[in-house]
């Protein structure tokens, strides 16, 4: 039997940030992680020499929490183009960030996807969050579809560009998500250039774990918690096939995992297919969507066009993401990939399929930007379900949980 000031359950981003803050404050803290590595949903596996993230992830260095607590330079971030490729009947149109790629504006306008009459409604919807995000947060919230209707956002820009792109980001094919959340998300995309670490998204939690250890936190892998129960003036944490651990406070940082008495929003799911190919079919690094919406894929990318480190030399890695629940088969996905990339996908090797039924918490309106981290009994909750469904939300929730623990322990 061992005793600590605080036990953190879960070594995802929220749990690691929480443990670091507690250790920096001088508290005796240990993190118990059920898996054999840190990261939670942010994991990278090596399969046949390819780096496969568990689902398609990107890191946005514009997030304030990332700027504050992550050494982005050490991650050797490979940044995606600030653009989107849209497959149409007559070819591929490219829509790019107009301020960063002003030379592409004529091509965007000539694509037929961005009609001049559609720009004013889009600006009416998007510009307020760029000027004053606080004002937007305090304003009324509604479903994204309703907000777009009210602003007059419609036509091919909405149907062929915004809807398929955001479906893959939000795991929401019906625009039911909070309008405020989506506008905040669009703001982060406008200000940052998301990418992936050269060693895979798992490099992010690995760095946070190193920081936690240097601060004095302990991290125990392959320690699956089976129960937490009151014990004396604190809590006893039961661990499968290991001794129980006592603590004055417990932080539940297990994401959307049920069973630990944390009230959770409903999950949204994404399915990612990973394919390997010997041939370089295209040099475009941007995400590609189907402007005609003729298949299950909401976005696809040749990841190695942006991050060559994700594949062995001379090989290429393609991801394809589908919103769950889905009945799509491998044949359905390959057929759609053929249309999107204009090539025969039969020689492509399927490396893995990731089914993430709880890829992120639903962001339903009205948006709750600060859900309580105190459970009221000496336990605390951390995870992006306490803030926003993002790396930013996970890190901030971990910090908030730590601050609450420190305040309550005195």
Q: What is the pLDDT along the chain (410 residues), one digit of tens a residue?
A: 578 999 999 999 999 999 999 999 999 999 999 999 999 999 999 999 999 999 999 999 999 999 999 999 999 999 999 899 999 998 999 988 776 777 777 777 778 888 888 889 999 999 999 999 999 999 999 999 999 999 999 999 999 999 999 999 999 999 999 999 999 999 998 889 999 999 999 999 999 999 999 999 999 999 999 999 999 999 999 999 999 999 999 999 998 766 556 778 899 999 999 999 999 888 899 999 999 999 999 999 999 999 999 999 999 999 999 999 999 999 999 999 999 999 999 999 999 999 999 999 999 999 999 999 999 899 999 999 999 999 999 999 999 999 999 999 98
Claim to verify: residue 69 and residue 102 sit in the same structural domain? yes
CATH at residue 379:
3.50.50.60
Claim to verify: residue 170 and residue 95 sit in the same structural domain? yes
Position 210 in a domain:
yes
Claim to verify: residue 377 and residue 274 sit in the same structural domain? no
Q: What is the DSSP string of 329-373?
A: -HHHHHHHHHHHHTS--TTPEEEEEEEEEEEEE--PSSP-SS---
CATH at residue 338:
3.90.660.20
Q: Report the 10 Å Cβ neighbour count for 214.
A: 11
Claim to verify: residue 87 and residue 50 sit in the same structural domain? yes
CB contact at 8 A, 324 and 355: yes
Provide the domain limits for residue 73: 44-113+156-177+189-197+267-361
Claim to verify: residue 307 and residue 227 sit in the same structural domain? no
What is the rounded CA–CA span in Å between residue 35 and residue 58? Answer: 22
Two tokens at 222? 């392959």
Position 182 in a domain:
no
DSSP state for residue 55 in the 8-state scheme: S
What is the rounded CA–CA span in Å between residue 282 and residue 331? Answer: 22
Among residues 154, 155, 138, 135, which one has the least CA distance to residue 146?
Answer: 154
Contacts 24+ apart (CB under 8 A), 92-100: 92/284, 92/288, 93/291, 94/284, 94/286, 95/161, 97/190
DSSP strands (E only) in 232-310: 234-239, 242-252, 267-277, 287-290, 297-302
Q: H helices of 171-202, where?
A: 179-191
Claim to verify: residue 370 and residue 243 sit in the same structural domain? yes
Claim to verify: residue 380 and residue 237 sit in the same structural domain? yes
Domains in the chain: how many in total?
2
pTM as predicted: 0.95
Claim to verify: residue 173 and residue 77 sit in the same structural domain? yes
Claim to verify: residue 10 and residue 49 sit in the same structural domain? no
Claim to verify: residue 63 and residue 162 sit in the same structural domain? yes
Q: Which helix (H) or strand (E) holds 319?
A: strand 316-324
Claim to verify: residue 9 and residue 37 sit in the same structural domain? yes
Claim to verify: residue 216 and residue 342 sit in the same structural domain? no
């Amino acid at each position: 039997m061992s005793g600590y000031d605080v036990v953190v359950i879960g070594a995802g981003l929220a749990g690691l940030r929480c443990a670091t803050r507690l250790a920096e404050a001088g508290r005796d803290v240990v993190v118990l992680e059920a898996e054999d590595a840190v990261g939670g949903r942010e994991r990278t596996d090596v399969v046949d020499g390819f780096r496969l993230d568990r689902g398609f992830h990107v890191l946005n260095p514009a997030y304030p929490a990332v700027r504050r607590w992550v050494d982005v330079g050490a991650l050797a971030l490979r940044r995606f183009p600030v653009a989107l490729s849209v497959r149409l009947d007559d070819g591929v149109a490219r829509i790019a960030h107009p301020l960063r790629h002003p030379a592409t504006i004529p091509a965007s306008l000539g694509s037929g996807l961005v009609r001049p009459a559609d720009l004013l409604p889009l600006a009416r919807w998007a510009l307020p969050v760029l000027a004053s995000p606080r004002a937007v947060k305090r304003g009324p919230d509604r479903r994204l579809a309703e907000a777009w209707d009210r602003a007059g956002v419609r036509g091919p820009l909405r149907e062929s560009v915004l809807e398929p792109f955001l479906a893959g980001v939000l795991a929401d094919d019906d625009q039911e998500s909070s309008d405020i959340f989506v506008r905040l998300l669009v703001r982060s995309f406008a200000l940052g250039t998301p990418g992936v670490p050269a060693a895979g998204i798992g490099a992010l939690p690995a760095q946070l774990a190193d920081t936690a250890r240097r601060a004095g936190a302990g991290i125990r892998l392959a320690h699956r918690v089976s129960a937490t129960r009151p014990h004396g003036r604190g809590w006893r944490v039961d661990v499968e096939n290991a001794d129980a651990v006592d603590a004055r406070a417990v932080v539940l940082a297990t994401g959307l995992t049920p069973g630990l008495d944390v009230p959770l929003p409903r999950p949204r799911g994404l399915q990612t297919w990973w394919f390997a190919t010997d041939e370089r079919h295209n040099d475009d690094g941007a995400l590609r969507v189907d402007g005609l919406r003729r298949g299950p894929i909401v976005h696809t990318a040749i990841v190695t066009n942006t991050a060559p480190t994700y594949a062995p030399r001379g090989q290429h890695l393609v991801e394809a993401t589908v919103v769950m629940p889905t009945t799509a088969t491998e044949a359905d996905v390959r057929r759609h990939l053929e249309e999107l990339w204009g090539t025969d996908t039969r020689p492509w090797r399927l490396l893995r399929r990731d089914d993430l039924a709880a890829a992120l918490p639903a962001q339903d309106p009205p948006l709750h930007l600060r859900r309580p981290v105190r459970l009221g009994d000496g336990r605390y909750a951390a995870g992006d379900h306490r803030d926003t469904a993002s790396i930013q939300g996970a890190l901030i929730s971990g910090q908030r949980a730590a601050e609450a623990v420190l305040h309550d322990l005195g």
